[in-house]
């Protein structure tokens, strides 16, 4: 397969999968994925697009996409992740917590492609939750090094954030992490882990 190099045809989903498979350079994939920002992002494949950006060290850009794409769902009243979301329709869309009227686009009833047309898309769907795993792995920087989470590497990437904090469950208990960006740009980390878990920085 590595002798055959499929063309990404400018498709963000294809470019991300090709980069993650080691067929397309992360730099080339990033240029495709970042073209036009969050436009043409997808709820499920968005995770793989974010992973491909991380492979190229584009953490800040990936966080901006999360803010734009998934943030637009929040702006429209989301309290959970949506199964499908047409980012381009957001500007004239009615928030989902308001009764429909004829002057605004009803993103749930009028939106959707393929099998999602006409109230068919779930407004609470796990496959759109990729940013939660991505933020844990790349912003908090928590990477399991050995099976069973006996060894965890922590290398945060805060981008434009001034701090990030969260927890990570292990079979031995919860690892608690807090990162604060100092005035000089360096990150100060507070890590509390069970004694059975070795932390590598």
Are residue 121 and residue 157 in the same domain, yes or no? no
Looking up tokens 């997808």 gives 42
Are residue 78 and residue 18 in the same domain, yes or no? yes
Number of Cβ atoms within 10 Å of the Cβ of 118: 10
Last residue of a domain, one of 127, 152, 185: 127
Query: Is the residue at 3 inside a domain?
Result: no
Are residue 117 and residue 185 in the same domain, yes or no? no
Residues near 57 by Cβ (< 8 Å), separated by ≥ 6? 26
Query: Is the residue at 7 inside a domain?
Result: no
Are residue 18 and residue 111 in the same domain, yes or no? yes
Q: How many domains does the chain have?
A: 2
What domain range includes position 160?
A: 140-200
Element containing residue 174 per DSSP (H, E): strand 173-181
Per-residue pLDDT of the chain (201 residues), as tens digits, is 557 667 778 999 999 999 999 999 999 999 999 999 999 999 999 999 999 999 999 999 999 999 999 999 999 999 999 998 989 989 989 998 888 877 788 888 887 777 777 787 888 899 899 999 999 999 999 999 999 999 999 999 999 999 999 999 999 999 999 999 999 999 999 999 999 999 999
Measured CA to CA, the distance from residue 69 to residue 121 in angstroms comes to 17
Phi, psi of 38 (to 5 degrees): -80, -5
């Amino acid at each position: 397969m590595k002798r055959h190099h499929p063309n990404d045809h400018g498709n963000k989903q294809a470019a991300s999968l090709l980069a993650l498979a080691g067929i397309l350079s992360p730099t080339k994939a990033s240029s495709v994925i970042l073209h036009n920002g969050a436009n043409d992002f997808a709820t499920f494949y968005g995770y793989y697009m974010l992973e491909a950006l991380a492979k190229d060290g584009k953490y800040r850009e990936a966080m901006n996409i999360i803010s734009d794409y998934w943030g637009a769902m929040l702006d429209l009243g989301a309290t959970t992740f949506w199964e499908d979301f047409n980012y381009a329709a957001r500007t004239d869309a009615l928030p989902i917590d308001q009764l429909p009227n004829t002057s605004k686009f009803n993103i749930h009833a009028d939106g959707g492609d393929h099998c999602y047309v006409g109230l068919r898309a779930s407004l609470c769907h796990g496959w759109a939750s990729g940013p939660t795993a991505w933020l844990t792995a790349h912003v908090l920087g928590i990477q399991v090094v050995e099976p069973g989470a006996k060894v965890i590497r922590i290398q945060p990437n805060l981008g434009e954030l001034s701090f990030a904090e969260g927890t990570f469950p292990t079979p031995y208990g919860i690892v608690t992490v807090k990162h604060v960006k100092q005035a000089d740009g360096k990150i100060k980390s507070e890590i509390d882990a069970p004694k059975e878990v070795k932390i590598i920085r």
